[in-house]
Chains A and B, each alone.
Chain A
Amino acid sequence: MAADINKFGLFLRSLFYTANLNIENMQGTGFGWLLKFILDRKKVSLPEEKLNEESGYFNTHPFFITFILGVWFKELNTKEGPDYWKNAYSSALAALGDSFFNHTYKVFCFLVSGLIGIYNPVAGLIAYLIFYNLIHFLLLFFGFKIGFFYGKNLITWFNRFKINQWGQTVDIISVFLLGFFLSALMKINFYSSYWNYFLGAFMLLFGLFFARILNVAITLMIALICFGIILFLGGL
């Protein structure tokens, strides 16, 4: 029924479904809007009361919305109904998206693009947008089809790729890249002197130390004042 939905139309709309984000129903308005779009296209009728109900509280990670829509349609006429799985998957995918995309993947994309950007900032900009959005767009584009195919068993699709292990692997790569990036940043911009190397190591250790005890914004303010004092005493 719904598997042959206009993927591009749904993809474009899914980029805007969070636009009514508020503390009352979170992304519920957008979820109802996307649902209505699919129902209209497929000429499937749903009582207005039921459709309005679907605009109630809903929250997930924006990259996974089409998966949940797919599951919802698959489970529409089952005994358990679609809402049980909608709630279950929205929470699970929100947690997955927050931990992987917001915590891990952003750092990885930045470090790769930053390395490219040292040589050519515009290439760094393009690289970031490609790296970051490649997975984003693929998930939104194919999410509905996958969600509809697997229905309530969608978790098996995620388990197949061992997605819960990706975070740690990407974090390891990012830590390596962070070291590589800092070396590149120093070596390309400064003369390779012991003083600069010592100063860089000293700054890093300071950062590591303060990260344990102080909020980053407060520390940055203190660092700016300290740098100002160093500047007036003769500079770096």
Chain B
Amino acid sequence: MTLSLFILAGIVSVDRFIALHMGISRPFIVAIIVGLLTSNITYAFYAGVMIEIFGLIDIQVGTRLTREDSFLAYVVTVLIGMGYIISVSKLLLLILTMLVLMYPAGHTEELVRKFNRVIFLKKGVKPSAFLLASGVAVSFLRGVIVYPLGVYIGIAFLRYFNEMFNTGSNLKVYMIFLSVFLSGYLLRFLSFKSVYKYIVFLSGLFVGWLLI
């Protein structure tokens, strides 16, 4: 892995909860940036679309920790970019594994909050730049450790199954159909009067089909 991928992991982690809040941590953005850094932008884009739709359904309200969709996007697109995923069956297997690993990865965000609490209680209530800088540093470190760790686990996993699961070569088709499947969730997630919603959606489908 290159240095730029490590730095990206740190920035993504910081952007998720701790600072910036600029959307850099959205799976769609993570995937395209990783695609640019690994020179495999097309597959990274379609993986980003799929994971973004998956992530959008989990709304961030108040202090609730959402699913680590950035981790999922980062690991999957880095491994696609590095050429480890050469078959559809390997892609499906990797996403399945990373969906499980996403939960412990998400819990490390809880650890950052705990660290912030400890340092806040230790340093007292006086507001200082040090408290904020240490929060950014720890979150950055979390990204630099946790995200690449996911990549290395993914590599070990794929190497273990090197001789198996080599069926299918058209990754894009499967990623698009998975995106369409997840869009059912997104459609239900968007809230306004149900009947009109489906009429508007069908007109979008129809207009899109006609115009493109």
Contacts and interface: CB of A to CB of B under 8 A. Distances in A.
Are A and B co-members of a single complex?
Answer: yes
Contact of B205 (A26, A180, A216): A180
Contacts of A48: 126
Contacts of A185: 49, 176, 179-180
A114 B49 contact: yes
A195 to B, nearest CB: 12
A180 B207 CA distance: 7
B79 to A, nearest CB: 15
A203 B177 contact: yes
Given A109-B23, A122-B41, A227-B92, A19 B18 contact: yes
Task: Determine the main DSSP class of A at the interface with B.
Answer: helix
Given A21-B116, A106-B56, A98 B61 contact: yes
A175 B200 contact: yes
B19 A176 contact: no
B155 interface: no
Interface in B11-54: 17-24, 26, 28-29, 32-33, 35-36, 41-42, 44-45, 49, 52-54
Contacts of A227: 92, 174, 177-178
Residue in A20, A36, A124 with the greatest tally of chain B CB atoms within 10 Å: A20
A223 B116 CA distance: 38
Interface in B183-198: 183-192, 196-197
Contacts of A132: 22-23
A31 B19 CA distance: 13
Given A177-B204, A178-B204, A185-B179, A205 B128 contact: no
Contact of A211 (B20, B36, B41, B184): B184
A158 interface: no
A20 B200 CA distance: 43
Interface stretch (B1-9, B117-125, B144-152): B117-125
A217 B58 CA distance: 10
Given A175-B200, A236-B173, A29 B41 contact: no
A228 B192 CA distance: 35
B192 to A, nearest CB: 5
A225 interface: yes
Contacts of B196: 172
A181 interface: yes
A64 B118 CA distance: 27
A153 B71 CA distance: 42
A15 B20 contact: yes
Contacts of A182: 179-180, 183, 205, 208
B125 A180 contact: no
A6 interface: no
B107 interface: no
B157 interface: no
Contacts of B23: 106, 109, 128-129, 132-133
Interface stretch (A52-60, A79-87, A143-151): A52-60
Interface of B: 17-24, 26, 28-29, 32-33, 35-36, 41-42, 44-45, 49, 52-54, 56-63, 67, 88-89, 92-93, 95-96, 99, 102, 113-114, 116-117, 119-121, 124-129, 131-136, 139, 167-168, 172-174, 176-192, 196-197, 200-209, 212
